[in-house]
Amino acid sequence: MSSPRSHNFWIREGNGKKWKWLAVNSNDVAKYSGRLGRQVKEDKHSGSSQVELCDGVTEDALKVIISSIPSKEDEGDLPVLCINERDPEFGFDQLLSLAIACWKFDCAIPPVCEKFAQDFHVNWTRSHKHDFAKEAPSVSKAINWMFIGLVFKWDRIFRDASRFVVVKYKSDENNTNLPQDFQELIRNTRKRKIQQTYTFVKNSWISFYDPPNKMLNEIHTHFKTKLGIELHNSPPKGLFERANPDNLLVELAATVKINQSGRPRLPPPPLEFDAPAPGIKTQGTGRGSLFAPVAASVGRDLLEAAKRTMMNRGHTARSPSSSSSEQSWKQMQSLEKNMNDFRTRSLDGILLADEEFMDLRNQHIRPIISGFQPKNKRE
């Protein structure tokens, strides 16, 4: 093994000055950052590397990453990472940039970054009491939360954010700052979820086979007319763009209830559940969850969509007719139960322990290295 050699890292700051950090041993750099380790090999003859910014990574985030490497001297102060107890959103952009930097530079999360993340998490959840916002967030904001939850292993935030993304995500969503492999996994997961939902709807449709097949024909006609979907075929090309999983369930439920002269009593969507016990949980969700207001909004939207579907087709919500057959009502009750079970099983967010997401995280986020305390900002 070659003898220890120091290596100088530097960043050209916006003001034209150089921020420098002298690593004690170039052989150890790769333990802290795979990307910087590769750059050291490329620049080993010069003993110096200019580190360039990349999408989503600020100068301060890059300084935190570089300063995680043991140093014997440096010429640059370290950025201050702090929260504001009066403003729980203060520091969010900084936290997101740090998460992106750790991912893109293949890093072990620096201790100073880990502490800042935990302080932010405690302050944010205490201030919001597990409510994300009064209004539904944008999909891009939910994806950012999902990414942060994955990087720092925040179970509940990751699951609640993913629950919103699975339902609302569209193929043209593209956050240029987030890693492309993470966004590609989201797209693939969303496609898989909507394909699973289509299969559930199709199988439910087939379950209504009962000559003279009035219900079977009504459901088929409705999906073909409104969504351009023929249920006897495989999932159509472009289904990902034209529908979301919950809307497919709404259309099925509304059509069945209309034809049975019943009220479209949809089961609660996966974003809305009973109130949880206080604290972060790895299983279950609640109205007190981070995206609960989103849940309420989505739930209302779905019910209103079902009602509009009935109104547009000349029907009103009313109590079931006494002439409805017992078999028909059993079918409807079975559909409601199956739909609720399906939502809970397939659309109730993604667990942090999901193998695909965790494997992808572990390709970029290295194990934390103990025994090194980064320098504090010099006054």
pLDDT tens per residue, range 185-214: 998 998 899 999 999 999 988 887 766 777
Q: Is residue 164 pLDDT above 70, yes or no?
A: yes
**Residues 270-293: pLDDT tens digits?**
443 222 222 333 333 333 333 333
Query: Residue 148: pLDDT above 80?
Result: yes
Crossing angle for the helix pair 155-168 and 139-151, to the nearest 10 degrees: 150
Report the pLDDT value the prediction gives residue 211, as an integer from 0 to 100: 67
Name which of 242, 240, 253 is nearest 194 in CA terms: 240
**pLDDT for residue 186:** 92
| Domain ranges (residues) in the chain | 7-74, 188-351
Predicted confidence band at 245 (pLDDT cuts at 50, 70, 90)?
A: confident
DSSP state of 49: E
CA atoms within 13 A on the CB side of 104: 22
Measured distance between the N- and C-terminal CA atoms of the chain, rounded to whole angstroms: 39
Classified as helix, coil or strand, 136 is coil
The residue with greater pLDDT, 328 or 69, is 69
Residue 355 pLDDT > 70? yes
CA torsion sign for 21, 23, 29, 31 is: negative
Q: How far is CA 376 from CA 67, 78, 373, in A?
A: 10, 7, 9
pTM over 0.85: no
Q: Is the separation of the CB atoms in 131 and 297 below 8 Å? A: no
Give the orientation angle of helix 180-206 with respect to helix 355-364, to 10 degrees. Answer: 180
Residue 114: Cβ within 10 Å count = 15
Can you spell out the DSSP letters for 151-220? HTT-HHHHHHHHHHHHHH--TT---TTS-HHHHHHHHHHHHHHHHHHHHHHHHHHHTT--TT-HHHHHHH
